[in-house]
Structure formats: C-alpha cells, structure tokens
Amino acid sequence: MRDLAQSHLLQLLSLTAMDMPDALTSSEIHAKKHEFMSNLTMPTVEPSGIPQVIRGQYSSYKREVDNPNSNIETFVSLNLKSKDPNWAEAEFRLTTGKALNEKLTAILVYFGSKDPNILRFRIQPDEGIDVDLLIEKPGFTHNLRKVKMNFSYNSYFEDNNHDAYERVLVDAIRGDHLLFATKEEIMASWYLLQPILNYWQSTSDDLVIYENGGKGPSTSRLSREDSAKLKT
C-alpha cells in the first residue's frame, strides 16, 4: 500500500481520470490531478473489515523476512468511488502484488459492464496502447466478435530504450515539475489511504495468504457488474 498504491497507482489513476486541463502545463495538470484525488471517497472501515479492500501476503514471505508474525501485505486490491458527478456510476480499482505469475503494469478502461470495449495502456513491458472492440461481423447475421487494435512504441520509435529514471533526473535538472507529485497530491493520497493502514495495524484477520507464482487472492467480491471500471 505504501510503496505502490499511495504513490504510483494513485498518480496513474489521477492522470487517467482527471478533467482535461486548460493548458498542458505543469501547474494546470497538477491542479487537475489534485482536484480528482480530492474527490475520491475513503473506503468504509467496518468492525468486520473494509469491504472495498483485499490484502494478501505470498506464502513464503514470513520465512523470508524471518518474522512468523508479520502482517505486511505483498498484495492489495481496492475499489474507490468519486464524489464528482461525472464519475457517479464509475468504479476505480487499483491492484498490485508481488510474487505473482506475471509482471506487468497496465491501465484498463472498461466501457460498459457486459462484454465491454476495453482501452488498455500498456506501461511495461512492451509499452503501447491497444483497444478491444466488440464489432458486428460482416454478413447477413448479427454475429458479434471481439477484435483488437494494437499500437506498440517499439514498432514506431527506434530510440525507445531510455530508463524511466533518466527522464526524472533530466527534468529535475531542467526544473520541470510535470512528472513529480506536489505536496497537495501527496497529502490527498495519504488522507485517502491512511484509515486503511490504521485498521491493518489493529488486526491481521483479513490477510489472505496466497501461493507464490499464482494469480494472487481472488478479487471477485470487489466486482460490480452494473458499473464501469477503471483499474491498474
């Protein structure tokens, strides 16, 4: 939660779902990101747990850290809602974990709830954008079929091997703050997630142990078929 959800995932979410800024400047973009994060609602902490959150720990973690009582999470999935009327029917899911069966970072935007069209931003590996579209197959019957449109950065840009930290260091030297989080964004993210961390300090009853190299804990109870979803 601290290493990825609070920082990386909430930043990706705000960049994806914020309102269009009036200008593509650092100050305007940060203002829109902060506005979006400020409208996210805190998960509800109940005596039995937090319905919108699943936390897990891979099976060998306690042995690796030599602490049989550790309740540190190595997996978290949480659903968030927004007070912004434009997102009234939407649901945002953040998921991250270690020791899983694959390593990837992606943003998926679902349009609709049943057989949705999906816009996917692939951040790593194989950076690019693809779209899953449900279209009608040509002919005399009304047969629908899923097709994929795919764009890969490596196919169009030869010089696409820069390390992410190179860009951060260059921007720091230039004084360009666009890729950095402001103190207002950081405070908004901690305000949102700190109640979860406070609850986790009091109990480990909701900690799910999952096998190394698997898909991680089931997140089925977080699903809502009647709402749009955006997850990372």
Range of lowest pLDDT (42-56, 68-82, 89-103, 132-146): 132-146
pTM: 0.85
Asked if pLDDT for residue 113 goes beyond 80, the answer is no
Residue with tokens 């009647």: 226
Q: Which of 45-49, 157-161, 198-202 has the highest mean pLDDT?
A: 198-202
- 30 catalytic per annotation: no
How do residues 141-169 score in pLDDT, each as one tens digit?
Answer: 788 888 888 998 888 887 766 777 888 88
Domains by residue range for the chain, with CATH: 5-231 (3.30.360.10)
What's the confidence (pLDDT) of residue 167? 82
Reported confidence tier of residue 224, pLDDT bands at 50, 70, 90: low
In 59-161, at which residue ranges do the beta strands (DSSP E only) sit? 75-82, 90-97, 105-111, 117-124, 128-136, 144-152
Q: For residues 164, 167, 173 and 179, what is the CA-based torsion angle, rounded to 10 degrees?
A: -80
Structure tokens, 87: 């997102």
What's the confidence (pLDDT) of residue 99? 95
Find the catalytic residue in 8, 34, 162, 177. Answer: 8
Q: Which residues, other chains included, contact 55 with Cβ-Cβ below 8 Å and sequence gap of 6+?
A: 1, 73, 75, 76, 200, 206, 207, 208
H-state helical runs in the chain? 10-17, 26-39, 61-64, 153-156, 164-174, 183-202
